[in-house]
Structure 1
Amino acid sequence: MEVDALLLSRIQFGFTMAFHIIFPAFTIGLASFLARLEAQWLWTGNTMYRNLYKFWVKVFAVSFGLGVVSGIVMSYQLGTNWSRYSDFTGNVLGPLIQYEVITAFFLEAGFLGIMLFGWDRVGDRLHFVSTCMVAFGTLVSAFWILSANSWMQTPDGFVVENGRAVATDWMKVIFNPSFPIRYAHMVMGCFLTTAFAVAGMSAWMILRARKEPPEKVAGARLSMSMALWFAVICAPIQAVIGDGHGLAVLKYQPTKLAAIEANWDRQANMPLLLFAIPNEKEERNDFEIGIPKLGSYILTHDFSGVIPGLKDVPRDQRPPVWPVFYSFRIMVAIGLAMILIGFWSLYLRWRGTLYTNRTFLTCTMLMTPSGFGAVLFGWFTAEIGRQPWIVYGQMRTADAHSPLTVNAVTTSLIAFLIAYTFIFGFGSYYLAKLLRKGPEPLEEAIRGGDVSQKPKRPLSAVDEDLKPNPA
């Protein structure tokens, strides 16, 4: 593979996007978790819920800030590195991105300050409304971003005039064929990312304080319990949504599906490949482990269903097979592990050992990054599987690149690597310090409380002594 400006630009965009996507994936779910905590506090009057809110909102503030910083560079790269793509799609995707700004960004900006700094200045119910508006704003933001990205996967509602895409039906543009199922799949993935991050971090706090009295980790126990209840319910639902997503890919992007399954020849009774070594040069798999006929049944709900093959299209219209094939299987494996952890937690609840089984707590802690991994590998599957198209069937990635030199892209890539290492290294360190400190012991939270009427600085939401609690 030749190292040219196109390849370096793809590496740069993939690198920055991979960093960015993990933060919205976490904050979308965490904002809704915060709304649930505050609702429980208002409903029950249990101070534990407010105490947990005040702890997790600090994690949210740092993660939200890192997400905003990492997202800003996306728009600039579209203009600097992918100007031909912007020229072709600007009339369609430009308004969609603008709709995100004037709806989601304005909604979040309007209520985020009240959510972070206003609890001592507004009533409890108004503060709860602010939290709900921020949570709703994250879902609206995901709506427009997934609509734009799904249009690139299954473009609809447009015509090409003078080399540019022009919208003819905005409802078809926004609600393009793959959008509804992809939006549901992504949002549920964000919720599961948060659920396992919260459960894993809480399990770590419990393990770290296992010799302390249970009341010292009551907040961590409650957080883990709430997160695992969500996992029990929603991980299986995500599997059902994923099945619907697979049917949509079969219908609208058959070549991508063939790459996901490493299926070279169109065939009925296709096996479900658990493992294979794709050989793109020879157009076959060198080694396979599969379950006969199950692949056709999963993808078509018919054991004799016909599945398209990669040989149905020329070589230059196929995506790279091995990264798509393996990324999809890693994502599925993580999803199955989530379902297993959820049902294991049910069994331990029944036994009364949910918070004392060290093996389970350790496994839950190790699952902390699982949601982030699932989101990343799902994104790899979707975006690499779309290749060689940047707009499926309309514009190739190679034709979307700006006329840049290798030196120019190399310089910017190195600058991004240095900046991201510093910014996200510091942010990750700060998050680790917050988590190590843990929630305040409940008795201290009841005695304390910030009642100062002085104006607050933006970083004061997380500006405090980060020494760990004695627990």
Structure 2
Amino acid sequence: MDALFSPLLLSRIQFGFVISCHILFPAFTIGLASWLAFLEFRWLRTRDALWRDLYFFWLKIFAVSFGMGVVSGIVMSFQFGTNWAVLSEKAGNILGPLLSYEVLTAFFLEATFLGVMLFGARRVSDKLHFFATCMVALGTLISTFWIISANSWMQTPQGYTLTADGVFEPASWWAIVFNPSFPYRLTHMVLAAFITTCFVIGGVSAGYLRRGVHVEAGKRMLRLAMVFAAIAVPLQVFVGDQHGLNVGEHQPIKLAAMEGHWEQGEKGAGVPLVLFALPNQKAERNDYEIAVPKLGSVILTHSLDGEIQPLKSVPADDRPPVAPVFFAFRAMVGLGTAMLLLVLASLWMWRRRRLFESAWLLNGWRAMTLAGFAAILAGWWVAEIGRQPYVVYGLLRTANAVTPTLATGSVLTSLIVFATVYFTVFGAGIWYLLKLIRKGPQPHEPAPQTKGGDKTPARPLSVGGAEEEGA
């Protein structure tokens, strides 16, 4: 067993599996919480019942998604102690406080107002309920701030001192929190979350319109999803470009892996843009390469003959696995391009007043419903695999951060258990989400009054409509 799977490899697979499952739910709820705040704001302004129906429909989906995000996130913290004890020992003085700040700010804020948001309708004033929704939305953004700050510090460490035994000590918390890649990565992640939510809403709306159900709700949601995406997707293209420049400055070998750039060409030749290739890490080349001369320089350096550091400029054991980074990056960019084209086509059809009648356009939205999730996964794989072989970039190798006393059998057993539990729990959760979506938004009627005059709280997780809830 040890010959095939080392504790290091299994620990990396386990952490990668857990974080890949976990990130999908927080990314969705970040955008969904802001969407809920918008819906409730529109209802307060117009008192149009459809806005309220849409709010409670998406509130159910938010509640389930938020719960699955919390459950999947708990496991991650334990792995720092069980599988990555050396990382905790070496970098715990910095990572520990950053993660604690998330709990002290975001979790406490969300815990305070989440109950009011989920169960407080008609038990508190409408304005107070809207305030609770806004606070939950703010909490999701604050949580993103601290998590991305911690992860960004591991990508571009700043503001630390190293002791004689290699322990990181904080020297400047400002430099630690606002490390060089943090502003780009935070903006990139928040926009990705908003875009993911836009396409889920748009895809669900297009499905209703194609089926001829919840037509008015579908039209309203699709129109809003298109408008929000028309703002967020072009912004993401710009932010992604700036983020790429930052990666080239601070993590040049990761950028080289993303581009499959092995060696420096002749002076003035520039960097080609590799459209397709099969990276051959053993032979240190690309097989079956299709590339456009100089276009890589224009995109990566904003100059016609700019250069980036090639993979061969560092020893082989300092390079990340090239193929997964190379293909994941192209998957992310390809999905982003498809999103942009769909949004532009939707704007054109909206202008021609055919947005809701175009079968191919509605089918396009349905096909792209989960595109945001796929793009987020691809982006995280680029970020995390691309920084290998380091866990703290350039300073602490992943191989030196794993718990030295781990047994292969123990890690394999925990990996199998995690996979089994995750697929069972999340399978049930996703099945329930699909059931909610299939049911669609229902008229939300006032709850019955008790004899004492108290108001019964809402039941946000009920799939049934008002009649099934006894309203």
CA distance in 2, matches of 1:467, 1:358: 32
Matches within 5 A, 1:79-98: 79-98=81-100
CA distance in 2, matches of 1:274, 1:106: 46
Q: CA deviation at 1:454?
A: 5.8
CA deviation profile, 1:41-65 (whole Å, cap 9, x unmatched): 1122222111100100000000000
CA distance in 2, matches of 1:124, 1:99: 31
Q: Which moved more, 1:460-469 or 1:294-303?
A: 460-469
Q: Which moved more, 1:100-109 or 1:162-171?
A: 162-171
Q: Which moved more, 1:118-127 or 1:249-258?
A: 118-127
CA deviation profile, 1:20-57 (whole Å, cap 9, x unmatched): 00001100000000111111111222221111001000
Match of 1:252 among 250, 253, 256: 250
Match of 1:434 among 433, 436, 440: 436
Structure 1 gap segments, 5+ residues each: none
The 8 Å contact of residues 189 and 238 in structure 1, kept in 2 or not, is answered as: yes
TM-score for the superposition, normalised by structure 1 = 0.94
Please tell me whether residue 366 in structure 1 is matched to residue 360 in structure 2: no
Q: CA deviation at 1:190?
A: 0.4
SS at 1:307's partner residue? coil
Relative to structure 1, is the Cα distance of residues 384 and 55 closer, same or farther in structure 2, using a 3 angstrom cutoff? same
2:461 — aligned with what?
462
CA RMSD of aligned residues (A): 1.6
Q: CA deviation at 1:2?
A: 3.9
Q: CA deviation at 1:279?
A: 1.0
The 8 Å contact of residues 328 and 382 in structure 2, kept in 1 or not, is answered as: yes
Q: Which amino acid aligns with 1:61?
A: A
2:23 — aligned with what?
21
CA distance in 1, matches of 2:264, 2:34: 44
SS at 1:269's partner residue? coil
CA deviation profile, 1:406-447 (whole Å, cap 9, x unmatched): 11011111111111111001000000000000001xxx44xx
Please tell me whether residue 222 in structure 1 is matched to residue 220 in structure 2: yes
Please tell me whether residue 208 in structure 1 is matched to residue 205 in structure 2: no
Please tell me whether residue 11 in structure 1 is matched to residue 9 in structure 2: no
2:155 — aligned with what?
153
Relative to structure 1, is the Cα distance of residues 173 and 134 closer, same or farther in structure 2, using a 3 angstrom cutoff? same
2:286 — aligned with what?
285
Q: CA deviation at 1:183?
A: 0.3
The 8 Å contact of residues 320 and 385 in structure 2, kept in 1 or not, is answered as: yes
CA distance in 2, matches of 1:7, 1:100: 29
1:195 — aligned with what?
198
The 8 Å contact of residues 52 and 439 in structure 1, kept in 2 or not, is answered as: yes
The 8 Å contact of residues 436 and 468 in structure 1, kept in 2 or not, is answered as: no
Q: CA deviation at 1:306?
A: 1.2
CA deviation profile, 1:74-125 (whole Å, cap 9, x unmatched): 0001110111111111000100000000000000000111111112111111
Match of 2:231 among 224, 233, 237: 233
2:296 — aligned with what?
295
2:38 — aligned with what?
36
Please tell me whether residue 175 in structure 1 is matched to residue 178 in structure 2: yes
Q: Which moved more, 1:348-357 or 1:380-389?
A: 348-357
CA deviation profile, 1:343-373 (whole Å, cap 9, x unmatched): 1111111121211211111110010110000
CA distance in 2, matches of 1:78, 1:467: 46
Please tell me whether residue 401 in structure 1 is matched to residue 399 in structure 2: no
Matches within 5 A, 1:405-424: 405-424=407-426
1:450 — aligned with what?
447
The 8 Å contact of residues 438 and 468 in structure 1, kept in 2 or not, is answered as: no
Q: Which amino acid aligns with 1:425?
A: G
Relative to structure 1, is the Cα distance of residues 205 and 374 closer, same or farther in structure 2, using a 3 angstrom cutoff? same
SS at 2:275's partner residue? strand
CA distance in 2, matches of 1:220, 1:395: 51
The 8 Å contact of residues 433 and 466 in structure 1, kept in 2 or not, is answered as: no
Q: Post-superposition, which runs of at least 4 consecutive aligned residues in structure 1 deviate over 2 A?
A: 448-457, 463-469
CA deviation profile, 1:189-228 (whole Å, cap 9, x unmatched): 000000001111111122122xx6xxx4211211111111
SS at 2:192's partner residue? helix
CA distance in 1, matches of 2:315, 2:322: 14
2:324 — aligned with what?
323
CA deviation profile, 1:211-255 (whole Å, cap 9, x unmatched): x6xxx4211211111111111111011000000000000000000
Relative to structure 1, is the Cα distance of residues 454 and 464 closer, same or farther in structure 2, using a 3 angstrom cutoff? farther
Q: CA deviation at 1:163?
A: 2.3
SS at 1:306's partner residue? coil
Count of matched residue pairs: 457
Q: Which moved more, 1:430-439 or 1:347-356?
A: 347-356
Aligned-pair identity (%): 53
Q: CA deviation at 1:450?
A: 2.2
Q: Which amino acid aligns with 1:235?
A: V
Q: Which amino acid aligns with 2:193?
A: C
Q: Which amino acid aligns with 2:252?
A: P
The 8 Å contact of residues 270 and 296 in structure 1, kept in 2 or not, is answered as: yes
Q: Which amino acid aligns with 1:218?
A: E
CA distance in 2, matches of 1:146, 1:126: 30
Q: Which amino acid aligns with 2:310?
A: G
The 8 Å contact of residues 448 and 455 in structure 2, kept in 1 or not, is answered as: no
TM-score for the superposition, normalised by structure 2 = 0.94
Please tell me whether residue 382 in structure 1 is matched to residue 383 in structure 2: yes
1:110 — aligned with what?
112
Q: CA deviation at 1:399?
A: 0.6
CA distance in 2, matches of 1:451, 1:11: 51
The 8 Å contact of residues 192 and 234 in structure 1, kept in 2 or not, is answered as: yes
Q: CA deviation at 1:290?
A: 1.5
SS at 2:441's partner residue? coil
CA distance in 1, matches of 2:244, 2:467: 46
Q: Which amino acid aligns with 1:206?
A: L
Matches within 5 A, 1:331-370: 331-370=332-371
Q: Which moved more, 1:285-294 or 1:364-373?
A: 285-294
CA distance in 2, matches of 1:52, 1:168: 49
The 8 Å contact of residues 199 and 225 in structure 2, kept in 1 or not, is answered as: yes
